[in-house]
Amino acid sequence: MQPLLIWPAPPPPDLVRVLDLAGLPWAACATETDARAGVWSGAVVAADDDAEAGFSMARSLRRGDLAVAPLLLLVRGTHLGDLDGRHDTFDDFCVAPFHPAELEARLRHLLAAEPGVEAGPEIVEYEPLVLNLETYQASIEGRPLDLTYMEYELLKFLASNPGRVFTRETLLSRVWGYEYYGGARTVDVHIRRLRAKLGEEHAGLIQTVRSVGYKFGESRWNA
């Protein structure tokens, strides 16, 4: 797919995190002139810090031969009333500060509804680790990982919740989905196999929390 146009430049870090984690290509533009230099699958205009400038940019992107669509506006709750009379300049909006999952869902919905636009595969990415949730492929620093189905499911669950600590019992319930015959030891065995396949350099991504269970990496949303 073509990249999403993001305004302003540089874009808000929280927005960049969502786009990168979702595997959505993007490029930031500061002006309408910059926007005319590219071909876009859509746009995100962050009007939460400077509402008037954001509304002006959205209006510029929708007029004339540029006509970028779909377009999503990020706005503060205090500016919702300002959206009246501007509905021709955007296709959807999201209130900031936003929940990452909500913003990604809104973007994917807009892109999926746009004829000829492919939103791309759903990706889970953490530093050098990349999981393609559509093809069940995994790689670390570009090196493919040869994982069993349950190893992949366990890694996907952990990597989708960085920084959270899970007990063995919770992992059994959430990943295996039922009271597995092998008990909690099954989790330990799969963790050991995953660490071995990640390699010595990256085995520490999966951390043992003594007397509790395991966690993967660190939360992305820590201040």
Q: Which long-range contacts (CB under 8 A, 24 or more apart) does 113-116 make?
A: 113/70, 114/41, 114/42, 114/69, 114/70
Looking at the predicted structure, is the pLDDT value of residue 223 above 50? Answer: no
- CA distances to 19, 22, 104, 132, 206 from 123, rounded to whole Å, are 10, 6, 12, 5, 19
Whether residue 103 is found in the same domain as residue 9: yes
Whether residue 8 is found in the same domain as residue 106: yes
Domain boundary among 113, 144, 175: 113
Q: Is 162 helix (H, G, I), strand (E, B) or coil?
A: coil
Query: What value does the mean pLDDT take over residues 5-26?
Result: 90
Whether residue 103 is found in the same domain as residue 147: no
> What are the residues whose beta carbons fall under 8 Å from the beta carbon of 53, sequence distance 6 or more?
8, 47
Quickly list H helices, 63-184.
100-113, 149-159, 168-171
What CATH code is carried by the domain that includes residue 109? Answer: 3.40.50.2300
Looking at the predicted structure, is the pLDDT value of residue 186 above 60? Answer: yes
Looking at the predicted structure, is the pLDDT value of residue 202 above 70? Answer: yes
Strands 165-167 and 71-76: unpaired
- Percent of the chain surpassing pLDDT 70: 91
Cis peptide before 100 (omega within 30 of 0): no
Query: What value does the mean pLDDT take over residues 178-205?
Result: 86
122 occurs within a structural domain = no
Element (H, E) at 60: helix 51-62
- Percent of the chain surpassing pLDDT 90: 56
Domain boundary among 90, 113, 136: 113
Q: Give the pLDDT score at 105.
A: 87
Q: Please give the angle made by the CA atoms of 163, 128 and 1, to the nearest 5 degrees.
A: 105
Strands 137-140 and 206-209: unpaired
pLDDT digits (tens, 9 = 90+) for 53-82: 999 999 999 988 889 999 999 999 999 999
Whether residue 136 is found in the same domain as residue 50: no
Sheet of strand 165-167: strand arrangement: 165-167, 213-216, 206-209
Query: What value does the mean pLDDT take over residues 130-138?
Result: 87
Between 60-74, 120-134, 151-165, 184-198, the lowest mean confidence (pLDDT) is in: 120-134
Domain total of the chain:
2
Domain boundary among 54, 82, 113: 113
What CATH code is carried by the domain that includes residue 134? Answer: 1.10.10.10
Whether residue 48 is found in the same domain as residue 138: no
The chain-wide mean pLDDT, for the chain, equals 88
Whether residue 66 is found in the same domain as residue 35: yes
26 occurs within a structural domain = yes
Question: What range does the domain containing 67 cover?
Answer: 4-113
Q: Give the pLDDT score at 218.
A: 84
* pTM: predicted TM-score of the whole model, two decimal places: 0.55
pLDDT bin (cut points 50, 70, 90) of residue 170 is: confident
